[in-house]
Amino acid sequence: MKLLFLGTGAADWLPDAKTQTGEFRRHSSALVDGTILIDPGAGVCDAIQEYHVDVSKIRYILVTHRHPDHFNEKTVDFLQQNGAELIELSPGEQVQLGKYTVLAVEGHHPVKTLHYFISDGNSRLFYALDGAWLLYDEIEAMKQNPVDFAVLDGTIGFIKGDYRIFEHNSMDMIIHMKATLSRYIKQFCISHMSRGLHRSHTELVEALKPHDIIAAYDGWEAEF
C-alpha cells in the first residue's frame, strides 16, 4: 500500500502562510494508492497538480470531520465531477470499497471525528486525524488486527501545559502511545502539525528519530 501526503498541516497553515525558515504545509490530506482520498480540503486541487496525481483514478472520498481545514465543498464537487464518490460512514461501520476494507471508528475530538482502518488484504493503515489520545474501540480494533502504518495527530509540538491536549496530541503524548502500542503498530507517523506549535521540520525529525517516529511532509509517499 502507498500513502501520498497531499498536506500535513493543521488549521493555522493558511494558503500564504510560510515560516521564517520558508517551510509550508497544506492542510492535512492523504491519498491511498491513488484511489482513496482522505479529507478533501481546499489545498487538495493544488496538491494534485503539484504532485502529478491522476485525478481520474480517485474513486472514493473519506472525511474525518467537517472542520474547514479538512472539508471543502468545491474540492468535493471537483472530485465528484471526475468520478469520485463521497463515502459517509458512522462509527463502527465497515464497508468494502473495491479491494479495500474500511472500518470507521470514533476519534476523541470536540466534533464528531472519524478515524479509519484501511486494509487491502496485505497491508493495514490506521489514519487518525484529528484527536487526542485514542479511544477504547480504536485500541480494540487494533488488537484484533494489528496495523502496518499509523498516521497519528501531531498538532502540538514539544510543549507542556497546552490546553489543546484535550483535542489534539503533543509529541510527549505520541511518544507515550508508541511505547504502549508498538506491539500492535509496526510504524508510527505524525501529520497535522501546527504552524505555531512546532519547531522546524528538520528539528522535529531529529527530535523524533530516537523514538523511530516519522514526521510526514507534503509530497512524501510512504510504502508499507
Each residue of 130-160: pLDDT tens digit?
A: 999 999 999 999 999 999 999 999 999 999 9
| Predicted structure pTM score | 0.96
Question: What's CA 23's distance to the chain center, in Å?
Answer: 19
Model confidence at 20, pLDDT cuts 50, 70, 90, reads: low
DSSP-derived 3-state class of residue 196: coil
pLDDT of residue 17: 74
**Element at 180 (helix H, strand E):** helix 171-181
Q: State which fold the 2-15+22-223 domain adopts.
A: Metallo-beta-lactamase; Chain A (3.60.15)
pLDDT mean over 157-186: 97
Domain spans of the chain, in order of start: 2-15+22-223
Measured at the alpha carbon of residue 9, what is the angle toward residues 32 and 3, in degrees to the nearest 5? Answer: 15
Pairing mode, strands 100-106 and 94-97: antiparallel
118 within 8 A of 104, measured Cβ to Cβ: no
pLDDT of residue 148: 98
- pLDDT single digits (tens) 81-115: 999 999 999 999 999 999 999 999 999 999 999 99
The answer to whether residue 21 scores a pLDDT higher than 80 is: no
Integer Cα distance of 145 and 119 in angstroms: 10
Flag the least confident range among 21-30, 46-55, 88-97. 21-30
